[in-house]
């Protein structure tokens, strides 16, 4: 189980950031997207290899109108 943008999601063994983004039907190189896992930035270059631990809070963020 992981918390993806606040909602519980099933979590397979070896689940990576790239896998999570794919499950959101995002392209492999989405523009204007950033990811934090448990309060730390996961740089784009590490998305493919970064294994998300069970119970992690994953935030996938993008630009919204504001300010």
Partner 1 sequence: MASAETGSDTLEIAGRTLRSRLLLGTGGFPSLELLAGAIRASGSELVTVALRRIELPAPGEANERGSLLDVLEREGVELLPNTAGCFTARDAVLTAQLAREAFGTDLVKLEVIGDEDTLLPDAPELLRAAEQLVDDGFVVLPYTTDDPVLARRLVDVGCAAVMPLGAPIGSGMGIRNPYNIALIREAVTVPVVLDAGVGTASDAALAMELGCDAVMVASAVSRAQDPIAMARAMRAAVEAGRLAYGAGRIPRRTYATASSPRRGIADFFASD
Q: Which residues bind partner 1 (CB under 8 A)?
A: 5-6, 24-26, 30-36, 39-41, 43-44, 59-67
Q: Which is nearer to partner 1, 18 or 26 (CB)?
A: 26
Backbone angles phi, psi at 16, to 5 degrees: -105, 170
CA angle centred on 55, ends 5 and 53, rounded to 5°:
100
Q: How far is the CB of 44 from partner 1 (least distance, A)?
A: 7
Least distance (Å) from partner 1 to the CB of residue 36? 6
SS3 37: strand
CB of residue 62 to partner 1, shortest distance in Å: 5
Contact indicator for 47, 18 with CB cutoff of 8 Å: yes
């Amino acid at each position: 189980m992981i918390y993806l943008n606040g909602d519980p999601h099933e979590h397979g063994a070896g689940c990576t950031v790239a896998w999570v983004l794919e499950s959101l039907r995002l392209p492999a190189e989405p523009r204007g997207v950033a990811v934090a896992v448990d309060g730390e930035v996961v740089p784009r270059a590490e998305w493919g290899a970064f294994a998300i631990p069970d119970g992690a809070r994953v935030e996938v963020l993008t630009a919204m109108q504001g300010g």
